[in-house]
Amino acid sequence: MSRQPSILITGAGGEIGHGLIDRLFHMSDRPIITLDLNPLEKAIAGQVRKEFVGSILDTQLLERINAEYEVDQVFHLAALLSTRSEFSPALAHKVNVEGTLNLLEFAQKEGESHGRDVLFFYPSSIAAYGLPDDVTKKQAGRVKEDEFNQPTTMYGANKLYCEHLGRYYDRHFRQLSAGPKLGKVDFRCIRFPGLISAATVPSGGTSDYVPEMIHAAAQGQPYACFVRSDARIPFMAMPDAVTAILMLTAANKAKLTRCVYNIGAFAPSAGEVESLVRKAFPVANIVYKLDEKRAGIVDSWPADVDDTAARVDWGLNPQFDLRTAFDEYLVPTIRKRYS
Ligand code: AKB
């Protein structure tokens, strides 16, 4: 137990969680509590005060965490990603929406208990967008947050709805009650592009073709890319994604003009990534084996996003562009990982 202000990270064992735990461990004075379906890898388990292995759907477990800890920062990363969600849409709704509602209720109750607002970070996605066809996608170019909000996947629909849920808890919670504002949730959200980590390989996503291609080449394994070579969506190197989370959650609330922000760094085609992979790993065995349906999901996502609001409101400034992401982060780090 601890009455010390603490951080709760759900889905802590996932791709974003790996990078976030390490950064928070070294920069925050708050102990980290984690909740994940699976035990954490040893490399990060030593950086957390308490590791709960369980589900975000287990409300009794959340009540136990509520009773034992004084959480005032929640990073709710647990989710079923887009491809996996298409095979189990009802389960995806349960985990992605009911699970998120559970965590928003947890944060509200924590805030009522210790009296302070609870910072709640929520990772949304470019999957919240739905571009109807290639011509519209090309004409739309860098999409703003309030454009084309018609997702074609269960995951995208879940993410878009949970953005609205978070805004409700932040701005309108129990608005008909008498007396002062009752809401205790300080909801902040980033719509992530595809993320590329040197430390982990994603699973269950549809933007996975880029990290999968790189990690396969580094291991000398063949890779069959399931999208066309001209498929294009925005991506970001994982260190920049974690930095963006830390910048948004540290920002002065008064400076934030919205709850949900686009962020972007580079928007390569699959073919442009392939060229950089072949340059780094000349013996790479990469072929294209189109999966029309998965490629259709990628085609519905924007070619790029307009992240002006993030740059103006809280200083988003990614360090890696496509070339430096490969030369300075991905290739040297991944080579070391598999050497
Ligand atoms: C996915 O592919 O589902 C995720 C995402 C883009 O949100 N990586």
Is the pLDDT at 2 greater than 80? The verdict is no
Calpha distance 269→283 (Å, rounded): 21
pLDDT class of 43 with cuts at 50, 70, 90: confident
In a domain, 72, yes or no: no
Ligand 1 centroid to residue 114 C-alpha, Å: 35
The CATH number linked to 136 is: 3.40.50.720
CB 63 within 8 A of CB 27: no
CB 7 within 8 A of CB 28: yes
Calpha distance 160→151 (Å, rounded): 8
What secondary structure letter does DSSP report for 286? E
- Out of 95, 155, 191, mutate this one to test ligand 1's pocket (max ligand atoms within 8 Å of CB): namely 155
Is the pLDDT at 1 greater than 80? The verdict is no
pLDDT score at 94:
98
In a domain, 199, yes or no: yes
Calpha distance 41→70 (Å, rounded): 25
Calpha distance 147→264 (Å, rounded): 16
Q: Is the shortest distance between the CB of 126 and ligand 1 below 6 Å?
A: yes
- Out of 82, 209, 291, mutate this one to test ligand 1's pocket (max ligand atoms within 8 Å of CB): namely 82
Ligand 1 centroid to residue 165 C-alpha, Å: 20
- Report the b/e string of 212-243 with b at 16+ CB within 10 A: bbbbbbbeeeebebbbbbebbbbbbbbbbbbb
Q: Is the shortest distance between the CB of 66 and ligand 1 below 6 Å?
A: no
Is the pLDDT at 83 greater than 80? The verdict is yes
pLDDT score at 312:
98
What secondary structure letter does DSSP report for 266? B
Q: Is the shortest distance between the CB of 207 and ligand 1 below 6 Å?
A: yes
Q: Which is it for strands 235-237 and 50-53: parallel, antiparallel or unpaired?
A: unpaired
Can you give the residue range of the structural domain that contains 131? Answer: 79-338
Ligand 1 centroid to residue 204 C-alpha, Å: 8
CB 76 within 8 A of CB 107: no
Angle at 258 between CA 178 and CA 101, to 5 degrees: 60
SS3 323: helix
- Report the b/e string of 68-81 with b at 16+ CB within 10 A: ebbbbbbbbbbbbb
Residue with tokens 């990060």: 44
- Out of 87, 206, 212, mutate this one to test ligand 1's pocket (max ligand atoms within 8 Å of CB): namely 206
Q: Is the shortest distance between the CB of 227 and ligand 1 below 6 Å?
A: no
In a domain, 59, yes or no: no
Ligand 1 centroid to residue 211 C-alpha, Å: 12
Ligand 1 centroid to residue 125 C-alpha, Å: 7
Residue range 260-288: mean pLDDT, rounded? 98
- Out of 83, 86, 122, 125, mutate this one to test ligand 1's pocket (max ligand atoms within 8 Å of CB): namely 125
Residue range 82-108: mean pLDDT, rounded? 98
- For residue 266, the cross-strand partners are 235
pLDDT score at 175:
96
In a domain, 32, yes or no: no
pLDDT score at 105:
98
Calpha distance 201→280 (Å, rounded): 18
Tokens of 118: 């609870």
Ligand 1 centroid to residue 62 C-alpha, Å: 26
Q: Is the shortest distance between the CB of 82 and ligand 1 below 6 Å?
A: yes
Residue with tokens 């909000």: 149
DSSP secondary structure, 201-219, as one string = ---S-STTHHHHHHHHHHT
Residue range 319-337: mean pLDDT, rounded? 97
Q: In what order do the strands lie in the sheet with 185-192?
A: 50-53, 32-36, 2-10, 69-76, 118-125, 185-192, 260-262
Calpha distance 7→72 (Å, rounded): 6
In a domain, 23, yes or no: no
Is the pLDDT at 161 greater than 90? The verdict is yes
Tens digit of pLDDT for each residue in 182-240?
999 999 999 999 999 999 999 999 999 999 999 999 999 999 999 999 999 999 999 99
Q: Is the shortest distance between the CB of 127 and ligand 1 below 6 Å?
A: yes
What secondary structure letter does DSSP report for 175? T
Ligand 1 centroid to residue 129 C-alpha, Å: 12
- Number of domains within the chain: 1
Tens digit of pLDDT for each residue in 46-57?
999 999 999 999
In a domain, 53, yes or no: no
For residue 336, is it left (φ>0), alpha (ψ between -120 and 50) or beta? alpha
Calpha distance 237→196 (Å, rounded): 5
Residue nearest to atom 4 of ligand 1 (CA): 205
